[in-house]
Chains A and B, each alone.
Chain A
Amino acid sequence: MNRSTWITRALTALSVLILLGIWQVGAELIGSGVLLPHPNTTLSALYSLLQQKPFSLNVLATVGRALRSFLIIFTIGGALGILAGYTKSIHAMLVPVLVICKATPVMSVILLAFIWFSSGTVPLFSAFLMGFPVMFVQVEQGVRQISPRLREMTEAYGFSPLMRLTHLVIPSLVPSIITGAKASLSMVWKVVIAAEVLTVPRYGVGSRMQLAQVHLDTAEVLAWTLIAVALTAIGDLVFIGVLRFPKFIRQRKLHHQAGGAA
């Protein structure tokens, strides 16, 4: 690692320390645990949360909802994006849906969904409406950017529709799919937790946050917030890991081949 990366890292750490310092000083000055609890009070609230039995249930419920919404968005957004990229009529029909999805405030979607569905379904539905346009638009634009020259080559060399899909369309779309998936995944966490706060299903990070707020237990609200941040960060890391996996396998294979040859 070179000098400038060290300096960057040191500055990032310094910035975190300054933020913690401001938090600590602010808590001292305000002097009220309800308005702003001390950082160490928050950490001990977090510690006691981690020890409680329903902790894993709450986290798993939220993770399950986020993953299910993400998979639905990924599949439907990806498939419709490819179709709309190729078919003008499908694109035209989906335009109003997209405009509505993009312009409607998250809270309206959640409140309306709560009228129509049970509290466990609301987070899935709301996350879908919010995340779908992101995935869809990326994939649709990706289809438009597929090289016409390569398309013409596959036409001249008699590629079947299936060969075109697997060897031209999908590989060309990989960057757009990754961008769309990454952006919709980080959106999904926020919407799912917001929907849980409003609808309070039996288990869920958002439900616990809401209950803590009702009890004016600010330290616990902050502790759940830290957990939500950690979940998003872990989600991003897993995502990056999944992306690197094929490359890792390839390198191992190459390594084996080299070893075999020697």
Chain B
Amino acid sequence: MILNHVSKTYFVRNQHLPVMQDFSLQMNPGSITAFVGPSGCGKTTLLRLIGGLEEPDSGTIEKTEAEQGAFSYLFQEPRLLPWHSVVANVELVLLPWFSNKGERIARAMEFLDMVGLREFTKFKPDQLSGGMRQRVSIARAFAYPGRIMLLDEPFQSLDTHLRWSLVESFLSLWEADRRTTVYVTHDLSEALLMADLVVRLTDRPMHTISLHPITTPRESRSLADPEFVELQRTFYT
């Protein structure tokens, strides 16, 4: 996917609010790109533009053939329908794709099983813990046949231990089906463990400060790695 000189300005309370100006970047198909920047720097706008929920004012977003079409979105919060059971929440997003209900349920169950929620499929979202709800939304995102994955700080609201276990769940599903993933966060350590490319951003209007390709295989990465320690030191100074 290539972002070509993308600009986007919002018009809020009679004021122009430039969010992106002439932003360009190339992301490899089937890779994870993490955008790390301060809160409110326009990361969510970037995701909405890539997903096609909004149009850029100028510039283009070119996608490979495999990246065109629907996308899966992981929000900061799980955003499950509270009146539906866990399995119905996943099954429902498959409705436009699979006409056979049995097929939809089987696919929903398969992905819920992969995030360790086999026993909880009949529960309502409010009967689950916050971490379990976010697992349901991960299962929903992977069960949905989106060609790209858009992640808007989905692990942010959880405590450290839960966060790493969700990151692991996410990566194990992703390894089995490598869709191009665009991931925004303000947490560098998550980005370092997950991404193939870390993009450091400025405040609004968004510009790239630096690009950090990471070649170490994910399974052997550690935050104690001297390269990562050095990166974290430069990021926050």
Closest to A155 in B: B53
Closest 8 CB pairs of A and B: A156-B73, A153-B79, A171-B83, A157-B93, A149-B79, A150-B79, A158-B70, A158-B96
List of A residues within 8 angstroms of B95 by Cβ: 163
Take A156-B53, A156-B71 as given contacts and tell me if A149 and B77 are in contact as well, using a CB distance cutoff of 8 Å: yes
CA distance in complex: A102, B110 (Å): 55
Further contacts, 18 of them, CB under 8 A, given A157-B93, A163-B92, A171-B83: A149-B77, A149-B79, A150-B79, A150-B81, A152-B79, A153-B73, A155-B53, A156-B51, A156-B71, A156-B73, A157-B73, A157-B140, A157-B144, A158-B70, A159-B93, A163-B95, A167-B81, A171-B81
In B45-74, which residues have CB < 8 Å from any A CB?
Answer: 51, 53, 70-73
CA distance in complex: A150, B93 (Å): 13
Closest to B97 in A: A158
List of B residues within 8 angstroms of A163 by Cβ: 92, 95
CA distance in complex: A156, B72 (Å): 7
List of A residues within 8 angstroms of B144 by Cβ: 157
Interface centre among A153, A155, A157, A158 (most CB of B within 10 A): A157
Asked whether A168 lies within 8 Å of B81 as measured between CB atoms, the reply is yes
List of A residues within 8 angstroms of B75 by Cβ: 149, 152-153
The yes or no answer to B221 lying at the interface (CB within 8 A) is: no
Closest to B76 in A: A149
The yes or no answer to B84 lying at the interface (CB within 8 A) is: yes
Take A149-B79, A156-B51, A156-B53 as given contacts and tell me if A167 and B73 are in contact as well, using a CB distance cutoff of 8 Å: no
List of A residues within 8 angstroms of B84 by Cβ: 167
The yes or no answer to A160 lying at the interface (CB within 8 A) is: yes
List of A residues within 8 angstroms of B77 by Cβ: 149
What is the interface of chain A, defined by CB distance below 8 A to chain B? Answer: 149-150, 152-153, 155-160, 163, 167-168, 171
Closest to A156 in B: B73
Interchain pairs with CB closer than 8 A, number: 33
List of A residues within 8 angstroms of B140 by Cβ: 157
User: Which range holds the interface residue count of chain B?
Assistant: 10 to 19
Closest to A174 in B: B83
Task: Report 27 cross-chain contacts, Cβ distance below 8 Å, ordered by A residue.
Answer: A149-B77, A149-B79, A150-B81, A152-B75, A152-B79, A153-B73, A153-B75, A156-B51, A156-B53, A156-B73, A157-B72, A157-B73, A157-B93, A157-B140, A157-B144, A158-B70, A158-B93, A159-B93, A160-B96, A163-B92, A163-B95, A167-B81, A167-B84, A167-B92, A168-B81, A171-B81, A171-B83
- Closest chain-A Cβ to B12's Cβ sits at a distance in Å of 16
List of B residues within 8 angstroms of A171 by Cβ: 81, 83
- Closest chain-B Cβ to A256's Cβ sits at a distance in Å of 14
Interface centre among A152, A153, A156, A163 (most CB of B within 10 A): A156
CA distance in complex: A171, B51 (Å): 27
- Closest chain-B Cβ to A234's Cβ sits at a distance in Å of 30
List of B residues within 8 angstroms of A158 by Cβ: 70, 93, 96
- Closest chain-B Cβ to A161's Cβ sits at a distance in Å of 12
List of B residues within 8 angstroms of A149 by Cβ: 75, 77, 79
Closest to A153 in B: B79
Interface centre among B83, B84, B144 (most CB of A within 10 A): B83
CA distance in complex: A155, B53 (Å): 8
- Closest chain-B Cβ to A252's Cβ sits at a distance in Å of 16
- Closest chain-A Cβ to B75's Cβ sits at a distance in Å of 7
Closest to B140 in A: A157
Closest to A157 in B: B93
List of B residues within 8 angstroms of A159 by Cβ: 93
CA distance in complex: A158, B140 (Å): 13
Interface centre among A149, A150, A158, A163 (most CB of B within 10 A): A158
Closest to B75 in A: A153
List of B residues within 8 angstroms of A156 by Cβ: 51, 53, 71, 73
CA distance in complex: A168, B77 (Å): 17
List of B residues within 8 angstroms of A168 by Cβ: 81
- Closest chain-B Cβ to A166's Cβ sits at a distance in Å of 10
CA distance in complex: A149, B152 (Å): 13
Closest to B71 in A: A156
- Closest chain-B Cβ to A54's Cβ sits at a distance in Å of 47
CA distance in complex: A192, B222 (Å): 75
CA distance in complex: A178, B71 (Å): 37
CA distance in complex: A168, B84 (Å): 10
Closest to B74 in A: A156
- Closest chain-A Cβ to B96's Cβ sits at a distance in Å of 6
